[in-house]
Structure 1
Amino acid sequence: MRYFKLPDLGEGLPEAEILEWHVNEGDQVKVDQILLSVETAKAIIEVPSPQDGTIEHLFGAPGDTIHTGEPLLEFAGEKELDSGTVVGELKQQTTAVSAAGEQFFIGASPSSRQYRDRHISPAARALAQRLDIDVNTVPHRDGRVTAQEVEAAADRVQRLGPFEPLRGVRKQMARTLASAWEQVVAVTIHDDADIEHWPAGTDITLKLIDALAYACQHEPSLNAWFDGERLAIRQHPQLDLGVAVDTEQGLFVPVLRNVSGRSSEDLRAGLNRLREDVRRRSIPPSEMLGATLTLSNFGMFGGRYATPTVVPPQVAILGAGKIVTEAVVSEGVIEPRRRLPLSLTFDHRAATGAEAAHFMQLVVTRLQDSSVSSPAT
């Protein structure tokens, strides 16, 4: 018999959730024929067949989570296929290497690699099945899940009731943010930009993108990657901006490339395309890799200030809050002014407070510059 196992999907993704099987047991399939659709933390991927053959058995049903290297299906009358096989267009992304030879892993948090390395003992699996516990949700110790951890999980369920495990994007989001919280020495500073001069219909997101590009040109220290293990930093010559997009499935951060070298019209078209691809879950994983700085325009939903989370190896993230009108004293006169709240979180290991404050001041100055044309929505 030949077992076809979940191939390496790239970008450090250790698992996928089965969405739909496109074949049945007993079917004859051809090489590159789509076998099933799976959902990873970043995209929906169609998995093709690596060979011609007859399907003997399917492992897993829609909704099940399967890890890299675990069997997906069994072909009749063949020898076992190497579990490391990568099929079709599912290719491992390369890592980015700095001129100094330091290696930065983009798109895969250390916690993702930790979950890939988890070992579950046979006794723990059997006990979890008997106690009706999802063994994949059991906390592990040093990469191992034992019967003791399963018993502790069952005790928690008995005392607190069942919990619904996170899946797909939300699971990866939780892992990434928890890992970021452990790694980054985060400091947040706040300020407000006076935007009373902005005309109606101003494209707020493009104004923020322009201000970030301006700040990166004059204070490049925050447009960087930082390797906390090697205590090494890599400055970037261009701004590849991650733009946070909130969906019902969770948070996505597609990347807008080479911001400074593009027109407002091109940036808006590119941003619209990325957001639509995210909402349709058709965005390639490569489009969410390599951001050098991130923008979160959370004010469109509400909230004034925040403490946005920096995700390594990035050094900074700017959050924009809800525009408010408030009384401001200007030349001894109190008058209502529209103001845009800003929150800049930076990794204090990689940037000083003075550098971050200068960066914020550059953003504010650019937003308040009445000579800069305002792109329309």
Structure 2
Amino acid sequence: MKHFNLPDLGEGLHEAQILKWHVQVGDSLEIDQLLVSVETAKAVVDIPAPYAGLVAKTYGEPGDILAVGTPLLSYAMAADAGTVVGRLDTHECSDSDDFFIGASPSTRAFGITAGATVLQGVSRSMVLSMERSAASVVPVSIFADADLYCWRESRDPLMRLIKAVATACRLHPALNCWFERQSLSVKSHGQVDLGIAVNTDQGLFVPVLRGVGSRPTAELKRQLAQLRREARARTLKPADLQGATITLSNFGALSCRYATPIVMPPQVAIIGAGGIREEPVAMNGEVHVHPVLPLSLTFDHRAVTGKQAADFLQALVLALENPDE
């Protein structure tokens, strides 16, 4: 008998909810045959069979939550399959208290009274992520405005902002880092892998746009459009959600100006961009009306000093205010 454990489905993902089993006890499996579809914090993932053999037992039913590393399925291998056939019990799959995790205590707290709604999927993930951030990050937020009067109208604001973030990270790399709490160390990154917050009807997703400082704008634009489509369709792969070195939350579409966005460890910073507005600006002793972009920067004060954060935000503003090439 061989156990197959729920695999690691991506950085920071500790559990998954079973959506649908594609096999049942007694089925004969081929390698890479689809076993089960699960929902992680951010995506729906299809898990294939790692071995050929006979399904001896499944752990959990649709709606159940399993922790990464606990058994998902037991195999009867070719050598012992004959001794198992005929005595497999389909009801065994959810009776084991040894491996079935169910909802965590923090989630069960939402449903301890009759009729309470237990948060699941993206909503559940958001609660747990916010709890982890609140428990481990020392957040400070600062704010600034970028005067965009030198921009050409044809310039894509989001792409310009992404490129400006890459410039600020190159000039002030202390914010393009991870903070390792246990070792009290900072890990620097050679490139900017930017998490881009994407709002969908099902919740917030943060896919990663990689190497934003070295790739052509047109290529970044195409990939970002693809990531947005996949986020809305729930087809993002776990790898698409891993490894962001800094995050951008573009909440201007929500009619907001400033915010204190949440830093997600091990990252040490998140940039917030509000909506561009026409505002009066003093220039050469006269009042002019210019497009102004409000910016927020929240940083983890354990790893980033106030001076480092202020220098980064100033570099971001200057990169945005420079005339188009």
Shorter-chain TM range is 0.7 to 0.9
Structure 1 residue 25, shift from structure 2 partner:
4.8
Judged with a 3 Å threshold, the aligned counterparts in structure 2 of structure 1 residues 288 and 327 are, in CA distance, closer, same or farther, namely same
- Compare 288-297 and 46-55 and name the one that shifted more: 46-55
Q: Which amino acid aligns with 1:232?
A: S
- Compare 316-325 and 226-235 and name the one that shifted more: 226-235
Q: Is 1:59–1:72's contact at 8 Å kept on the other side of the alignment? A: yes
Judged with a 3 Å threshold, the aligned counterparts in structure 2 of structure 1 residues 9 and 355 are, in CA distance, closer, same or farther, namely closer
Corresponding residue number in structure 2 for 1:7: 6
Report SS of the residue matched to 2:261: coil
Judged with a 3 Å threshold, the aligned counterparts in structure 2 of structure 1 residues 327 and 265 are, in CA distance, closer, same or farther, namely same
Q: Is 2:53–2:75's contact at 8 Å kept on the other side of the alignment? A: no
In 2: Cα distance, 1:308 partner to 1:204 partner: 20
Corresponding residue number in structure 2 for 1:105: none
Structure 1 residue 5, shift from structure 2 partner:
4.8
Structure 1 residue 268, shift from structure 2 partner:
0.9
Unaligned runs of 5+ in 1: 80-119, 126-133, 141-149
Picking from 86, 95, 105, the partner of 1:138 is: 105
In 1: Cα distance, 2:118 partner to 2:82 partner: 37
Q: Is 1:23–1:36's contact at 8 Å kept on the other side of the alignment? A: yes
Say whether 1:17 aligns with 2:17. yes
Corresponding residue number in structure 2 for 1:271: 224
Q: Is 1:188–1:344's contact at 8 Å kept on the other side of the alignment? A: yes
Judged with a 3 Å threshold, the aligned counterparts in structure 2 of structure 1 residues 369 and 64 are, in CA distance, closer, same or farther, namely same
In 1: Cα distance, 2:257 partner to 2:48 partner: 47
Q: Is 1:58–1:74's contact at 8 Å kept on the other side of the alignment? A: no
Q: TM-score, normalised by structure 2?
A: 0.83
Corresponding residue number in structure 2 for 1:184: 137
Report SS of the residue matched to 2:103: helix
Structure 1 residue 137, shift from structure 2 partner:
4.7
Judged with a 3 Å threshold, the aligned counterparts in structure 2 of structure 1 residues 288 and 329 are, in CA distance, closer, same or farther, namely same
Judged with a 3 Å threshold, the aligned counterparts in structure 2 of structure 1 residues 239 and 54 are, in CA distance, closer, same or farther, namely closer
Say whether 1:304 aligns with 2:257. yes
Picking from 203, 206, 217, the partner of 2:159 is: 206
Say whether 1:170 aligns with 2:137. no
In 1: Cα distance, 2:279 partner to 2:145 partner: 11
Q: Is 2:193–2:246's contact at 8 Å kept on the other side of the alignment? A: yes
Corresponding residue number in structure 1 for 2:201: 248
Structure 1 residue 51, shift from structure 2 partner:
4.1
In 2: Cα distance, 1:46 partner to 1:270 partner: 23
Q: Is 2:110–2:116's contact at 8 Å kept on the other side of the alignment? A: no
Q: TM-score, normalised by structure 1?
A: 0.72
Q: Which amino acid aligns with 1:188?
A: S
Judged with a 3 Å threshold, the aligned counterparts in structure 2 of structure 1 residues 214 and 332 are, in CA distance, closer, same or farther, namely same
Corresponding residue number in structure 2 for 1:238: 191
In 2: Cα distance, 1:287 partner to 1:312 partner: 17
Unaligned runs of 5+ in 2: 85-95
Structure 1 residue 26, shift from structure 2 partner:
4.8
- Compare 339-348 and 70-79 and name the one that shifted more: 70-79
Picking from 289, 293, 311, the partner of 1:340 is: 293
In 1: Cα distance, 2:236 partner to 2:303 partner: 31
Structure 1 residue 19, shift from structure 2 partner:
1.8
Corresponding residue number in structure 2 for 1:216: 169
Mapping 1:31-46, distance limit 5 Å? 31-46=31-46
Structure 1 residue 71, shift from structure 2 partner:
4.6
Corresponding residue number in structure 2 for 1:63: 63
In 2: Cα distance, 1:292 partner to 1:59 partner: 35
Q: Is 1:191–1:360's contact at 8 Å kept on the other side of the alignment? A: yes
Over aligned residues, Cα RMSD in angstroms? 3.0
Q: Which amino acid aligns with 1:13?
A: L
Judged with a 3 Å threshold, the aligned counterparts in structure 2 of structure 1 residues 176 and 153 are, in CA distance, closer, same or farther, namely closer
Structure 1 residue 77, shift from structure 2 partner:
5.3
In 2: Cα distance, 1:279 partner to 1:241 partner: 19
Judged with a 3 Å threshold, the aligned counterparts in structure 2 of structure 1 residues 350 and 271 are, in CA distance, closer, same or farther, namely same
State how many pairs are aligned: 307
In 2: Cα distance, 1:43 partner to 1:78 partner: 38
Say whether 1:30 aligns with 2:38. no
Q: Is 2:65–2:102's contact at 8 Å kept on the other side of the alignment? A: no
Judged with a 3 Å threshold, the aligned counterparts in structure 2 of structure 1 residues 139 and 286 are, in CA distance, closer, same or farther, namely closer
In 1: Cα distance, 2:190 partner to 2:136 partner: 25
Say whether 1:290 aligns with 2:257. no
